[in-house]
A = this chain, B = another copy of it.
């Protein structure tokens, strides 16, 4: 029997693909080339049984129409807004994603941003590198202790809970707001109090966004919500940039309406607005919540596993029912 043919759109490290490459005929871009273009994939896809697409590679109607043998699109991401899911379903093409490998690393990023903000680590590291940038005095450079304070999590899903576990070990209390209230058993496990968004914003010392972005959550944190928060509050966003009105946040940080913020995601791709870049009371990373060596290996193993199990039987991370 002929080997199945798998097309991988990105020139990823090979380690995580070892098993896939043993079992199937796998095509990667040539050495030195970062990624296949859309047109290159369009020209090749007719021969392939499986496509391993990156999070930003468009898998649209036109591409699927050119792929009569295609049975599975294994997407390298939790999200899948690069894929026309209804059309894939119509065509009977299975789509899978990779929720597992990103949970713990994203929660780490949230905890890291929170500590970098609360203890002013990034600000002081930056100022230490400027001659005369730091004056050391008993009542200077003061941050805030997290121990004993309250973390308010908006969106208590996988990542929200992984963040809560870390915060509890730091001596924090947990309150949360969710579209649907969690089981009492889970609430007890985290000692988490379910509250309205309004109560959370007014009472939490730290507000963390862990919700998906959609028309209901777009700009869920704007001028009005920032005004409700404590003047000592810290805002953390590792979810989606457009959950926050970034200009309103920059203004609130500049005017001291809230104390500080830590952001891994931005409205405009991977970069913050210039108004934020000028502020000392914000710590920013360019969407590196899952940007680790280990995640790269695990994601590759995970997209491979979804393809192998689809053909040979076993659990896969289904996005659609076909």
Binding site for B on A (CB under 8 A): 10, 12-13, 34, 54, 104-105, 108-109, 111-113, 115-116, 118-122, 124-126, 128-129, 134, 136-148, 165-166, 168-171, 269-272, 277, 283-288, 291-296
Nearest-CB residue, chain B, relative to A167:
B169
Evaluate contact between B283 and A125: CB separation under 8 angstroms: yes
Nearest-CB residue, chain B, relative to A55:
B138
Nearest-CB residue, chain B, relative to A168:
B169
Nearest-CB residue, chain B, relative to A76:
B138
Residues of B within 8 A of A109 (CB): 119, 121
* Number of copies of this chain that the complex holds: 2
Q: How far is the CB of A221 from chain B (nearest CB, A)?
A: 20
Residues of B within 8 A of A296 (CB): 138-139, 142
Evaluate contact between A116 and B108: CB separation under 8 angstroms: no
Nearest-CB residue, chain B, relative to A127:
B286
Q: How far is the CB of A35 from chain B (nearest CB, A)?
A: 9
Residues of B within 8 A of A116 (CB): 112, 115-116, 121-122, 125
Partner of A129, one of B105, B120, B144, B277: B277
Residues of B within 8 A of A105 (CB): 145, 147
Evaluate contact between A292 and B166: CB separation under 8 angstroms: no
Residues of B within 8 A of A270 (CB): 134, 136
Residues of B within 8 A of A126 (CB): 122, 125-126, 129
